[in-house]
Amino acid sequence: MSNVPGPAAARLPAPDASAAAPATGGWRALWPELIITCAMVTVTAVAAYGYAGSAAAFATVIAWAVVIMILLRALVPGTPAEFAAQDENGQPAGEGSYIGFWRKRGLLVDATTNMRSYDADLRPTLQHLLAARLAERHGVSLYADPEAARRLLLAGEPDDGLWYWLDPARPAEQRSTRQGIPQRTLSEIIDRLERL
């Protein structure tokens, strides 16, 4: 049974359509970074061994292990109090950094591979962007008049498949096995938000 009504099913995949597809997130998405890291450790350890012997190679591997542990700790999401901390511009602290970039990348990967992650993290962000665009440019409240918001977002096209992903009345997904938002659909939503 599809949650996407109307002719949108022909253009956009239904939320359940790709649930059987293998997940591309998690460690699988990090293969390039892991291969590069292993190559860097190996090359520097071999160079240290050739230059100063096995003790230097061992010290190089230990130094790399310490650096990697520090980087991994920096990439691990912090506590709720750390996320609540904001800088002087009202943005989450550290979000403009390299680490903030990887956290955002992880959020996007999780949202495309898992429906529960999409509903918990990315959907509220997209809804806030839509609400801001509607309020600023059209004087429409997403939450008070969702039907007018839907008409403006879809711009007369019978594409309720996009609205499914942003609908504030849709309950959040409780199952974690369904695939999240397809990348093509996410791109289409962002394009429409820019044009709105």
Burial of 195 from C-beta contacts in 10 A (0-12 / 13-18 / 19+): exposed
Report yes or no: 87 and 2 within 8 Å, Cβ to Cβ.
no
Give residue 60's pLDDT band: very low, low, confident or very high (50, 70, 90): very high
Residue 32 has pLDDT above 60, yes or no: yes
Q: State what percent of residues in the chain have pLDDT above 90.
A: 12
- What's the pLDDT at 63? 93
Tell which residue, 64, 72, 26, has the closest CA to residue 47: 64
Query: Tell me, what DSSP letter sits at residue 92?
Result: B
- What's the pLDDT at 85? 53
Query: Does the model's pTM come out above 0.85?
Result: no
Residue of 8 and 182 predicted with greater confidence: 182
Model confidence pLDDT, tens digit, residues 74-132: 766 555 555 555 555 455 555 556 666 767 777 787 788 888 888 888 888 888 888 88
Sequence-distant (≥ 6) Cβ neighbours of residue 20 within 8 angstroms: none
Distance CA 109, CA 120 (A): 13
Burial of 71 from C-beta contacts in 10 A (0-12 / 13-18 / 19+): middle
